[in-house]
Structure 1
Amino acid sequence: MSNTPVPSAKAAQGVKRPKRSLRRNILGWGLSLLAVLLLGVIVFSFMPSPIEPVKWSAPKAPSFQESGPWQQNNKLSSAQLVTDAPQSPEFITFDKEGQLYTGDSDGKIYKVPFGADGNPQKAQLFADTKGTPNGLKFDANGNLIVADIKKGLLSITPSGSIEVLANQVDGKPIYLANELDIAKDGSIYFSDTSNYGRVTFKEIAENKPHGRLLKYDPTTKQTTVLLEGLYFANGIALSADEDFVLIAESYHYQLTRYWLKGSKKGTSDIFADNLAGFPDNITRDEQGHFWVGIFTTRIPFVDQMHSNPWLANSMAKLPESLLSGASAPVKHGLAVELSPQGELIGSWHDPEGTLYGVTTAIKHNGYLYIGTAPGGSLGLHRVLLTK
C-alpha cells in the first residue's frame, strides 16, 4: 500500500490553474508581439525612403540554354590558379618584359614574374597605395598609372614611388576613380563610377545615373569631364584606332561608346546592350576585339525591383548590412568577347561557379587571364586559349 497522499478535489483543481495561467500568458505575449510587429510594419511603411527611384523595364536577359554566342559552356571551368597573393585582383596588366601586375582591395599591388617555361613565379609586393587600386596600365615612360577608388588617379614609378595625378575635377572631388586606358599621346581616360563615393545597393534601387567619363592631359596636368549621366561607370577601353573609347555602364547592362574623332566627335551612343549581366572591366586584344568581365549574371530580383518603384523604395529603407546578399554575385563565371563593331562573338562560362565574380578577362601569350573582385572567388586565374 502506497504511502503517497491522495490529493483532495480542491488540490486537484489547484494543479490545473497554473496551466490555464500559462496559456493566458503565452497568448498575451503572442498578441503583444503581433502588435509590435504590426506597429513596426506601419512605421516602416510611413518611413520616408532615402531615394526617389526611376522606373525602368530592363530588357529580358539572354538565355544561356539557347544556341548562339550566349550558350552555356565550361570554357572557364579549367582555370589554373596563377597567384592567390591578391585575394581580389580587380584588374590585370603586363609590363614590357611580360610581368603581370595586379592590385588587391587592401591597397597592395603585386608583380608576378614568369619563368622560362611560362609558368608564374611567386608574387612580389610592388607598391601599396593605402587605398584600393583598380585600373592599372603602364605609360610610355614605364610608370604604372593607377585608378584608385579611394586616392584618385595615381602614377607609380618603377621603384614604387607614388604621385597623385588627379583627385579633383572642376573644383569637385573625383568620387570613385575606377578603371582607365591610356592613348598613344599619353592622355588617360578613366571612369569616376559614382558620386555616391562607394558601392551601395541604394544606387541600384534608385536607378539614376551618377557616373562619368574623365580625361587627364599629362601635358597640362588638367582633368576634364567628357561624359556624365552614366549608370555606374566602370570599365574603360580605347579602340585600336583610338577613334572612340568604351565605358561600361554596369547597372544598365551595356557598353557606351564616346567618339573621340570624326563627325561624331564629342557624342556618345550604345556600343553593346542587353548583356547577360553586370559588365565590369574591358580590355582590347591584338585583333581589336574587346573582352568584358561580367561580375555577376543578371539578378531577377533586381530587374523586378526596377519595374516596381514601391519595392525599390522599400528595399532602400533597409539597413545596408541586410542588403549585401541581394546584390551578391551569382556563382556563375562569365566573360564575353565582342567585335570592334560591338557584335557578340562568344561567351566563356564556368556554370559550376568555381570561378565567379569575374571583373577582368585579358589575353596574353596564349592565355586568358581572369581577375575578380570582393564577393567573387579568390585569387588570379588563367585559362589556356585554344586555336
Structure 2
Amino acid sequence: MPNTTDFSAKAPPGGNHPKRSTHKRIRRVGLSLLAVILLGVITFLLVPSPIEPAKWIAPTAPSFQEAGPWQENNKLSSAQIVTDAPKSPEFITFDKEGNLYTGDSDGKIYMVPFDAEGNPQEAQVFADTKGTPNGLKFDDNGNLIVADIKRGLLSVNPSGTVEVLADQVDGKPIYLTNELDIAQDGTIYFSDTSTYGRVMFKEMAENKPHGRLLKYDPITKQTTVLLEGLYFANGIALSSEEDFVLVAESYHYQLTRYWLKGPKKGTSDIFADNLAGFPDNITRDEQGHFWVGIFTTRISFVDQMHRSPWLAGTMAKLPESLLSGASAPAKHGLVAELSPQGELIESWQDPEGSLYGVTTAVSHNGYLYIGTAPGGSQGVHRLPLTK
C-alpha cells in the first residue's frame, strides 16, 4: 500500500525549520551571555582600584639550582614531629627548665615538657589569650611575654593569668602585634606588622610600607615608636651585644637593622637583603647567628605584579577570598642561617615539601625546632643540628 503521509522534516511554506529555530535560540542566548560577560569585564576594569600601587623592581631571586648557600638541599627533610597539639605553632621558646612553649591560632599557649633523655612528652595547655599568640619569650621574672595579633603585647604569669601591657601607642591602636625580643634590662622590642590590621593580599599588591618597630619600657610602662615605614614588619631579634635589633620586612625579602648603641644609634640600615623568600621570625643562637624562618619561597607572579602598578591595582579589585591562594606558601621548606654580620652561612631546605610554611627556627640543646603558620605543615618539628 503506498505511503500517502509525508513525515519529512520540511517546514511548511513560510514557516521556520525546527532545527534552525533551535540554533537561533542558542545563538541568541550565547550572544546575550557574551554581552553580559563583556559588560562585567568592562565594568570591572572601569571601577577604581581600592589602592594606588607603588612600582617596585624586585631583585632577581636567588637560584636554588646554582652552587652556593641557597643551593637546594634536604637538611630539613629528616625533621620529626615534637607535638601536633598546636596546629599552627607560629613561634617557639623555652623556659629555664627547658620546657617548650608555643601558641596556636585559636588563642591557646601550649607547654611541652621533656623527659630525662630529651624525649618530648604530651603537650599541656598553659594559657589562653583569647586572641592569636605569635611571639613568645620569658622575662627575668618568669612571666611569658606574648605578642598577640589581636590583643597586643601581653604578659602571662606562671599561673596562666593574662595581662595586657600595651595595645596603643601615641594614642593610636597597635594594629597587628606580631613578634618580639627582650633585652637584658627588660625592654621589649616588638613589631606592629601593618595598619591594615590583618594579612591581606591587597597590601602586598599596594607595595607601600605600613609596619613599625616598637619599644615597651617595663619601668615607665610606656610604648614608643622606633621605626616606621616597614614593608610588613615581622620577626624581631636582638644582637648578642644588644647594639642593634633586627626586624624582618617580609614583603621586601629583607632584614632591617635598627641601631641601639654606638655612633649609628637611632638610625637604620639593611642587614640582609634579597632573601630567597618571605622572611618571618628571627631567633639568635649562642654563637650570635640568626635563624630566619622563610614562610614561602619567592612568588614569581608577585614580583612581576610589582613591576606593573596597573596589574597590581587590578588584582586588588578581586575579592580577598579569591586571592588567598595566590599567597599560599610553596611546598618548599626553607630556613636561612645568617652570621652576626648578615652574611648567609647556609640554608636548610625540604624541597619535597613534607615540612613547609616555616615561620620559626630555634636552635636549642643540639636540635633545630621548627614552627609553622596556617597554610603550612602542622605541629612543632625538630631535627638534630649535626652537619
Shared fold per TM-score greater than 0.5: yes
Residue matched to 1:306? 306
Residue matched to 2:120? 120
Residue matched to 1:13? 11
CA shift, 1:17, in A, is 2.4
Residue matched to 1:94? 94
Residue matched to 2:334? 334
* CA–CA distance in structure 2, aligned partners of residues 170 and 88 of structure 1: 32
CA shift, 1:207, in A, is 0.2
Contact 2:137/2:181 (8 A) holds in 1: yes
Letter in 2 for 1:108: K
Contact 2:10/2:17 (8 A) holds in 1: no
CA shift, 1:280, in A, is 0.1
CA shift, 1:6, in A, is 6.8
Q: Aligned with 2:293: secondary structure?
A: strand
Contact 2:64/2:72 (8 A) holds in 1: yes
**Counterparts of residues 20-39 of structure 1 (less than 5 Å):** 20-39=20-39
* CA–CA distance in structure 1, aligned partners of residues 182 and 209 of structure 2: 25
Contact 2:86/2:380 (8 A) holds in 1: yes
CA shift, 1:305, in A, is 0.3
* CA–CA distance in structure 1, aligned partners of residues 306 and 249 of structure 2: 16
Q: Aligned with 1:28: secondary structure?
A: helix
CA shift, 1:18, in A, is 2.1
2:221 is the counterpart of 1:248: no
Residue matched to 1:152? 152
**Counterparts of residues 248-287 of structure 1 (less than 5 Å):** 248-287=248-287
Q: 1:8 to 1:235 in 2, by over 3 A?
A: same
* CA–CA distance in structure 2, aligned partners of residues 92 and 7 of structure 1: 89
Q: Unaligned regions of 5+ residues in structure 1, if any?
A: none
CA shift, 1:384, in A, is 1.0
Deviates more, 1:229-238 or 1:374-383: 374-383
* CA–CA distance in structure 2, aligned partners of residues 271 and 232 of structure 1: 16
CA shift, 1:19, in A, is 1.5
Letter in 2 for 1:21: S
Cα displacement string for residues 283-331 of structure 1 (whole angstroms, at most 9, x for unaligned residues): 0000000000000000000000000111001000000010001111111
Q: Aligned with 2:315: secondary structure?
A: helix
Residue matched to 2:211? 211
**Counterparts of residues 1-387 of structure 1 (less than 5 Å):** 7-8=5-6, 12-13=10-11, 17-387=17-387
CA shift, 1:172, in A, is 0.2
Cα displacement string for residues 351-374 of structure 1 (whole angstroms, at most 9, x for unaligned residues): 001100000000011110000000
Deviates more, 1:245-254 or 1:19-28: 19-28
Deviates more, 1:37-46 or 1:275-284: 37-46
* CA–CA distance in structure 1, aligned partners of residues 120 and 264 of structure 2: 44
* CA–CA distance in structure 1, aligned partners of residues 269 and 11 of structure 2: 84
CA shift, 1:13, in A, is 3.5
How many percent identity over aligned positions? 81
* CA–CA distance in structure 2, aligned partners of residues 188 and 6 of structure 1: 102
CA shift, 1:22, in A, is 1.1
CA shift, 1:12, in A, is 4.4
Deviates more, 1:153-162 or 1:15-24: 15-24
Q: 1:104 to 1:16 in 2, by over 3 A?
A: same
* CA–CA distance in structure 2, aligned partners of residues 17 and 384 of structure 1: 79
Q: Aligned with 2:17: secondary structure?
A: helix
Q: Aligned with 1:13: secondary structure?
A: coil
Cα displacement string for residues 222-259 of structure 1 (whole angstroms, at most 9, x for unaligned residues): 00000000000000000000000000000000000000
* CA–CA distance in structure 2, aligned partners of residues 6 and 77 of structure 1: 83
Q: Runs (4+) of structure 1 moved beyond 6 Å?
A: none
* CA–CA distance in structure 2, aligned partners of residues 361 and 378 of structure 1: 14
Contact 2:360/2:370 (8 A) holds in 1: yes
* CA–CA distance in structure 2, aligned partners of residues 9 and 300 of structure 1: 64
Letter in 2 for 1:8: D
* CA–CA distance in structure 1, aligned partners of residues 302 and 148 of structure 2: 28
* CA–CA distance in structure 2, aligned partners of residues 11 and 148 of structure 1: 76
CA shift, 1:20, in A, is 1.2
Q: Aligned with 2:11: secondary structure?
A: helix
Cα displacement string for residues 176-216 of structure 1 (whole angstroms, at most 9, x for unaligned residues): 00000000000000000000000000000000000000000
Q: Aligned with 1:323: secondary structure?
A: helix
